[in-house]
Amino acid sequence: MIRVEKIHLCEIQLPLKEPFRISSGEVSMRRVLIVKLIDGDGTVGWGESVAGEQPYYSPETIEGVWIAIRNFIGPRVLGRTFEHPRDVFPALSEDIRGNNMAKAAIEMASWELAASKQSASLADLLGGSRSRIATGISIGIQQSPAMLVEKARASAAAGYQKIKIKIKPGADVDYVRSVRDALGPDVPLMVDANNAYSLDDIEHLQQLDDFDLMMIEQPLQWDDIVRHATLQAAMRTPICLDESITGPDRAEDMISLGAGRIINIKPGRVGGLTPAMAIHDICERHGIPVWCGGMLESGIGRAHNVALASLSNFSLPGDVSPSSRYWERDIVAPEWTMDSDGFVTVPRNKSGMGVDIDRDWIDELTVRSETFGL
Ligand code: OSB
Ligand code: MG
């Protein structure tokens, strides 16, 4: 049972080791909204919002999420008793449209709080069975095929089990061919276009079928399902949807329309862990493999992703790279690490998310904060 009495928000600014470029923009300073929920008995629950600074991935932004939590989402949980954290998402969603990233930050922190309260690991509370998560890397758009090849080669050598290449028109077929030629046929490769194409590009995209890619992620519009079905019918490479899958209904739409064969589940995009698990279950019933995506999360969001990815149908490597891939110093201890076989271990012997918060470091990184409560 949980009953939140206080919500603390803070924005931290974490510099990325190197800028991350996707088709819709670049980020070098990650502005992260951290949520701390405080229960009536003093237990805390941690979460983070995946919203970016600009609405270049989804309509939400860090500023908007802050306001949505303060004005609409926060008041739905404050002072209210929930028997189980699975009851939080329905309470946040009743009559509140969209705002998935704002909902997710509070929803995920509620699960973390509940896990801590019952001295269970978050992975155990979610019912995940894996002890370690197969890990892939997402490589941003590089200036030349040669630079991409260098990054991809280093990633394969580090043990990553999947290499995802960000693409856009002008940095696609030649770039992917260079990597495939350099790394050979056995390295698992995929691409992510973040909406950079339209159905006018069908013939161009068909060239990617030559490279034996695991999948092409979200080639068309961020909210499109129907056109992806047309594209999937014209391509051998499986389409994986990311941006378009905003909830369980969209997953069903993808499956029934044949708009894709794989889903990238990000709990932060779909409103939290409860809807993420619902999507997982739908896909499992339909034989659709899923994997856990990433949004350049700090160690807090990463903890949630790792716990979620321990569920059975997360059968493909996730974008859950270790802390050192992103940050000089993460905000959790121990930091997230990956072994040389490309696995991240699911923490089980600690209650809650399985890592400690480096509060001093968070305080140093904080640029603004706000507490509200009963
Ligand atoms: O499309 O998966 C994406 C990062 C920011 C916005 C969108 C995406 C990404 C990534 C990063 O691919 C994956 C990671 O966190 O390592
Ligand atoms: Mg993506």
Is the CB of 138 inside a 6 Å radius of any atom of ligand 1? yes
**Mean per-residue pLDDT, 311-321:** 97
Whether residue 16 is predicted with pLDDT greater than 90 in this model: the reply is yes
DSSP letter assigned to residue 71 = I
Decide if 166 is catalytic: yes
pLDDT at 21: 96
Tell me the ligand closest to 136's alpha carbon: 1
The CA 38 to ligand 2 mean position distance, Å, reads 32
**Mean per-residue pLDDT, 261-287:** 98
pLDDT at 261: 98
Decide if 164 is catalytic: no
Q: Which of 31, 58, 296, 316 to mutate to test the pocket of ligand 1 (most atoms within 8 A of CB)?
A: 296
- Find all residues with CB under 8 Å of 94, minimum gap 6, and list them: none
Whether residue 253 is predicted with pLDDT greater than 90 in this model: the reply is yes
pLDDT in tens, 38-76: 999 999 999 999 999 999 999 999 999 999 999 999 999
Is the CB of 62 inside a 6 Å radius of any atom of ligand 1? no
Is the CB of 332 inside a 6 Å radius of any atom of ligand 1? no
Helix (H, G, I), strand (E, B) or coil at 72: helix
pLDDT in tens, 98-146: 999 999 999 999 999 999 999 999 999 999 999 999 999 999 999 999 9
Q: Give the start-to-end residue ranges of the domains of the chain.
A: 2-119+355-373, 124-345
DSSP codes joined into one string, 144-204: SHHHHHHHHHHHHHHT-SEEEEE-BTTBSHHHHHHHHHHH-TTS-EEEE-TT---GGGHHH
CA-nearest residue, atom 6 of ligand 1: 295
The fold adopted by the segment(s) 2-119+355-373 is Enolase-like; domain 1 (3.30.390)
Whether residue 297 is predicted with pLDDT greater than 90 in this model: the reply is yes
pLDDT at 155: 98
pLDDT at 79: 97
Structure tokens at 297: 């999360």
pLDDT at 341: 97
Which residues are within 5 Å of ligand 2 (an ion), measured at CB?
Answer: 192, 217, 242
What's the rounded Cα separation, in Å, for the pair 363 and 331?
10
pLDDT at 111: 98
Is the CB of 296 inside a 6 Å radius of any atom of ligand 1? yes
Tell me the ligand closest to 217's alpha carbon: 2
Average pLDDT, the chain: 97
Contact present, 53 and 23 (Cβ < 8 Å): no
Whether residue 170 is predicted with pLDDT greater than 90 in this model: the reply is yes
CA-nearest residue, atom 4 of ligand 1: 295
- DSSP count for the chain of H helices, then E strands: 14, 16
Q: How confident is the model at residue 374 (pLDDT cuts 50, 70, 90)?
A: confident
For a pLDDT cut of 90, what percent of the chain falls above it?
Answer: 99
Domain 124-345: give its CATH architecture.
Alpha-Beta Barrel (3.20)
Q: What are phi and psi of 212, to 5 degrees?
A: 50, 50
Amino acid letter for position 69: I
Whether residue 290 is predicted with pLDDT greater than 90 in this model: the reply is yes
Is the CB of 243 inside a 6 Å radius of any atom of ligand 1? no
Tell me the ligand closest to 23's alpha carbon: 1
The CA 4 to ligand 2 mean position distance, Å, reads 33
CA-nearest residue, atom 5 of ligand 1: 295
